[in-house]
């Protein structure tokens, strides 16, 4: 028998519909009820609810609450943790938990749903089943599972590689284009040669998570008004997402170089997302030449999570923390 700590945070998977309005219900575990009714196994779910929100309302204070709850809970008697979440910000919380919980001695699985559990279109039941399968499969590691519409399997993502769902189709993707694995009626199938999960030490030495300092994330668009962007004193670093070619605007007066200089004058570190290759465009080169720091091969979500923790926690190994880690095999 597996004993699983089931952490409810809200989201569609924990919602009910009342007169066509979806709202989070306290202690709503309908997805678990459906699992028990369907599979009739001896899995014991111990249910807790440290958060009670729709995930679009997610704030860094909610990450503090969730992580500190997990850190303060005695996990000795549990075989795994399943965290139910809203789909809107699933990829962001996955990245945070992938770092904060990487040292746990039991697997942590994050999942969500596209419709409320009692809706015939809902993937809530199969996502919960997939999460249970992962608890049976792995002794540790952090994973996100989700069945996209139109697919007959649940995708298994590494937590720092799942990307925000497409707004129209509602489908999640993996940052590198390939899934870690998938779960079908025949169980778990690994799709990549990665040796993940390996035993890892805690990312930081703090006993509790406190995120007082802010990271400002900005995304480019044509005619972006850099001069309109404020920089409050709580902002310690800027994360500038780049276009898919790892480029930004450097011509004219309203450009990234102007904003980089503004950040430097206020003592704010400036980072941008990049992919290592044989060559770079002159616009990216200009950022590098003027002191911007590239974050290589990280998803937007992973880059934000790493910077948020980097500027708020006592990181164990700061020299490598901001690098890509989930795709590397141990040596």
Shared-domain flag, residues 20 and 68: yes
**Angle (deg, nearest 10), helices 282-289 and 256-265:** 10
Tell me whether residue 74 is in a domain.
Answer: yes
- Residue 330 tokens read as 């141990």
Tell me whether residue 327 is in a domain.
Answer: no
* H or E segment and range at residue 310: helix 300-310
Tell me whether residue 111 is in a domain.
Answer: yes
Tell me whether residue 316 is in a domain.
Answer: no
What count of other Cβ atoms lies within 10 Å of the Cβ of residue 65? Answer: 16
Contacts of 125 (CB under 8 A, 6+ apart): 31, 34, 35, 38, 117
What count of other Cβ atoms lies within 10 Å of the Cβ of residue 122? Answer: 20
Range of the domain at 285: 214-311
Indicate which CATH number applies to the domain containing 304: 3.40.50.40
- Residue 275 pLDDT grade (very low, low, confident, very high; cuts 50, 70, 90): confident
- Residue 325 pLDDT grade (very low, low, confident, very high; cuts 50, 70, 90): low
Place of tokens 């790493």: 306
pLDDT (average), residues 310-320: 94
pLDDT of 330 reads: 36
Shared-domain flag, residues 223 and 182: no
Higher pLDDT, 116 or 324: 116
Q: Which stretches within 40-110 are classed as H helix?
A: 60-72, 90-100
Determine whether 77 is exposed, middle or buried from the number of CB atoms within 10 Å of its CB (0-12, 13-18, 19+): exposed
Q: Are 12 and 86 in contact (CB under 8 A)?
A: yes
pLDDT (average), residues 70-91: 97
Place of tokens 């992580």: 67
- Of 19-23, 82-86, 208-212, 280-284, the least confident: 19-23
- Residue 200 pLDDT grade (very low, low, confident, very high; cuts 50, 70, 90): very high
Shared-domain flag, residues 277 and 161: no
Shared-domain flag, residues 295 and 242: yes
Shared-domain flag, residues 47 and 159: yes
Q: What is the pLDDT of residues 136-177, one digit of tens each?
A: 999 999 999 999 999 999 999 999 999 999 999 999 999 989
Strand locations in the chain (E): 3-8, 15-18, 21-24, 44-48, 80-84, 108-111, 142-146, 154-157, 162-163, 173-174, 181-184, 187-190, 214-218, 235-240, 269-274, 293-296
Shared-domain flag, residues 43 and 128: yes
Shared-domain flag, residues 261 and 113: no
Shared-domain flag, residues 154 and 29: yes
Tell me whether residue 330 is in a domain.
Answer: no
3-state secondary structure of 168: coil
Shared-domain flag, residues 182 and 224: no
pLDDT of 100 strictly over 50 = yes
3-state secondary structure of 167: coil
Shared-domain flag, residues 145 and 76: yes
- Of 12-16, 140-144, 260-264, 281-285, the least confident: 12-16
3-state secondary structure of 215: strand
Tell me whether residue 323 is in a domain.
Answer: no
- CA pair distance 176, 288, nearest whole angstrom: 24
- Of 17-26, 145-154, 239-248, the least confident: 17-26
- CA pair distance 295, 150, nearest whole angstrom: 34
- Residue 326 pLDDT grade (very low, low, confident, very high; cuts 50, 70, 90): low
Q: What is the pLDDT of residues 218-227, one digit of tens each?
A: 999 999 999 9
pLDDT of 329 strictly over 60 = no
From 190, 222, 255, give the residue that closes a domain: 190
Shared-domain flag, residues 133 and 73: yes
Shared-domain flag, residues 176 and 229: no
Indicate which CATH number applies to the domain containing 36: 3.40.50.1170
Tell me whether residue 302 is in a domain.
Answer: yes
Into how many domains does the chain fold?
Answer: 2
């Amino acid at each position: 028998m597996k004993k699983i700590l089931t952490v409810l945070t809200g989201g569609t998977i924990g919602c009910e519909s009342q007169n066509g309005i979806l709202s989070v219900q306290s202690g709503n575990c309908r997805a678990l009820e459906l699992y028990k009714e369907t599979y009739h196994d001896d899995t014991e779910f111990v249910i807790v609810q440290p958060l009670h929100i729709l995930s679009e309302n997610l704030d860094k204070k909610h990450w503090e609450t969730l992580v500190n709850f997990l850190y303060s809970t005695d996990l000795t008697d549990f075989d795994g943790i399943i965290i139910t979440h809203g789909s809107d910000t699933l990829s962001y919380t996955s990245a945070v938990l992938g770092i904060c919980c990487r040292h746990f001695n039991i697997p942590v699985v994050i999942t969500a749903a596209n419709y409320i559990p009692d809706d015939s279109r809902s993937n809530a039941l199969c996502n919960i089943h997939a999460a249970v399968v992962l608890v049976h499969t792995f002794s540790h590691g952090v994973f996100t599972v989700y069945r996209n519409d139109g697919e007959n399997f649940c995708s298994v993502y590494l937590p720092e590689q799942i990307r925000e769902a497409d707004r129209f189709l509602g489908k999640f993707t993996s940052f590198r284009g390939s899934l870690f694995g998938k779960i079908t009626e025949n169980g778990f199938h690994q799709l990549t040669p990665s040796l993940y999960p390996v035993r890892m030490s805690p990312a930081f030495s703090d006993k509790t998570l406190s995120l007082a300092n802010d990271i400002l994330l900005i995304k480019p668009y044509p005619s972006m008004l850099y001069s309109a962007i404020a920089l409050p004193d709580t902002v310690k670093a800027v994360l500038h997402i780049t276009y898919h070619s790892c480029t930004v605007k450097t011509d004219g007066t309203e450009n990234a170089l102007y904003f980089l200089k503004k950040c430097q004058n206020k003592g704010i570190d400036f980072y941008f997302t990049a992919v290592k290759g044989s060559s770079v465009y002159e616009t990216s080169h200009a950022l590098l030449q003027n002191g911007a720091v590239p974050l290589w091969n990280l998803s937007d979500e992973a880059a934000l999570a790493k910077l948020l923790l980097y500027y708020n926690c006592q990181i164990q190994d700061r020299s490598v923390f901001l690098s890509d880690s989930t795709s590397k095999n141990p040596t």
